[in-house]
Each structure stands twice: as C-alpha cells, then as structure tokens.
Structure 1
Amino acid sequence: MNAALRAQQRYRDDAVLSAPPERLVTMLYDRLLLDIERGESAQRSEDWEEANAQLQHAQAIVSELSSSLTDEWSGSAGLRSLYVFLSQTLIGANIGRDPERTRACHEIIAPLREAWHEAARTVAEARS
C-alpha cells in the first residue's frame, strides 16, 4: 500500500474512532446506502462478482446495526424486525440476481438514513 492510500486509511480509521455514537450510526447508514447503490448498479450491468461483494458488505452493515440495538429503547423491536427483513431481502436479491429487490432495499434505507442524520444533528445541536 502506498503512502497516500495509508494516509487515507488512517484518516478514515481516525474518523471512526473519534466519532460520537450518533455519527457512527449515520456513517453506517451512508455506507449501507452506497453499498446498495453499487450492488444494484453491478447487478444491472451483470457484474455478479461486484454485486455479490457490495451486497454482502451491505448485509454485514445491517447485521452491525441490528446488533447495536438495545432492549432499553422502545423502538428496538420494530427496527430489529426491519433489519431482519432487509437482511433477508438483500440475501434474496443477491442470490436471485434481482436488481429490483435491491432497489426495494434502497427505498427503505434512504428515508431511514435521512431520519438518523436529522436525529444526529439534533443531538449535536443539543450538545453545543
């Protein structure tokens, strides 16, 4: 790995390690949406290896988001159920090579991503 790539990786690592919890959630949602978009694009161009890689990474993020939920929050059960649905749909979209199912996941994630960004802004403003 050259010096520029190492510096970029170090910057990303530092950003994650220093981010407050609400920012970590938004970072995960940002990457999840990107993975789904890339996966769908790869499916549409019939690049199955790339689609598989992107959709598997998306599944890993959904799993991480699900595991971060605590039962102390009343919304955990509903969000956990949604994550199970997303995971199953991403698996089915990947196995079935179905970009429409991948697109359906995008349509679910996009408004959630926006809601988490808004919540993070509210928390950051309250902290200031």
Structure 2
Amino acid sequence: MTYPSPRGARGQTSARAYASIGLETKVLSATPEQLITMLFDGALAAVAKAQLYMQNGDIQGRGTAISKAIDIVDSGLKASIDMEAGGELARNLAATYDLIIRNLLQANLGADAEKLQLAQRLLSDIGDAWRTAAESSKASSPA
C-alpha cells in the first residue's frame, strides 16, 4: 500500500512536525558541548536568513531572523557562561556576545549589511574556536 505524499500547507506542516521531533530528539540526547554547538549553528543560520531577507528587502523577515539570532546569543550562549568559574575569559566572552547583539540590533535598525556581516564573523570565529576546543577535549578524555 502506498500513501500519497502530502502537498501544500498540510505537507509543510508535516515536514515541520518531523523536523521539530528530530530537533527535540537531538537536543535531548546531546551533551552540553553539543548543545552549545547547536546554539552557534542556530544563531548562524538565523543571521544567514537575515542576510537573505535584507538582500530581498524583506523588512519583517529580516527583523524576525535577527530577533531569533539575538535571542539565541543572549538567552542561550551568553546565559550559559559560568561567570564565577570563567574569570576574565568569561567576562571577555560575555562582552563579545554583547558586541554581537549590538551589531545585530544596529544591522536591523539601519538595514546595515556590514553590521550583520560583522556579527556573523564574530559568531563564526567563536563557534569555530568552541568546536575545536570541544573536539580536543573529547579526544583527550578517556572513553
């Protein structure tokens, strides 16, 4: 027996439901390091969407995507910093996240592609450093 493939709005709803279940499963089974990596990926994806919306002149889409990126950086990445244990490094990282948020806000308010690119570069650089540190930590820990 074959099932017809869902089309239209109903098909999109089904696809989103499957994607949501997949993401939920991934989050529930992730290590703390993997969760931070997922936050970087999500923030970078939101910034990439914002860049596309900006190029296409879609103000509402740009605003929504930038708001999502800001939320991920502020409520996810910055909130996960252990300020007491991290010392100066943690303070510098929090200040960098504040700079990213400020650039995202300015990018949205002024439709400023350069500010958006700067935020993307900073997120990408920190995310790459995080991935490298997480991989070397995983490689050096006993199995």
| Residue 15 of structure 1, aligned match among 19, 23, 26 | 26
Tell me the equivalent position of 1:77.
91
TM-score (normalizing by structure 1): 0.91
Distance (whole Å) between structure 2 residues aligned to residue 115 and residue 106 of structure 1: 14
Structure 2 residue corresponding to 1:50, chosen from 49, 61, 72 = 61
Q: Give the gaps of 5 or more residues in structure 2.
A: 1-9
**Could you report, residue by residue, the CA deviation over 1:46-80 in whole angstroms, capped at 9, with x for unpaired residues?**
11111111100000011021111112112110000
Larger radius of gyration: 2
Of all paired residues, the percent bearing the same amino acid is 24
Aligned position for 2:130: 116
SS of the equivalent of 1:92 reads: helix
Q: What is the alpha-carbon distance in structure 2 between the residues aligned to residue 44 and residue 127 of structure 1? A: 48
Once the 2 structures are TM-superposed, how far is the Cα of residue 102 of structure 1 from its aligned partner? Answer: 0.3
Residues 5/106 of structure 1: CA separation in 2 closer, same or farther (3 Å cut): closer
C-alpha separation between the residues in 1 aligned to 2:102 and 2:93?
14
C-alpha RMSD of the superposition: 1.5
Partner SS, residue 66 of structure 2 = helix
Question: How many residues get paired?
Answer: 128
TM (norm. structure 2) is 0.82
Pair 4,103 (structure 1): closer, same or farther in 2 beyond 3 Å: closer
Q: C-alpha displacement at 1:123, in angstroms?
A: 2.5
Q: Hey, what's the Cα distance between the residues in 2 that align with 1:3 and 1:103?
A: 34
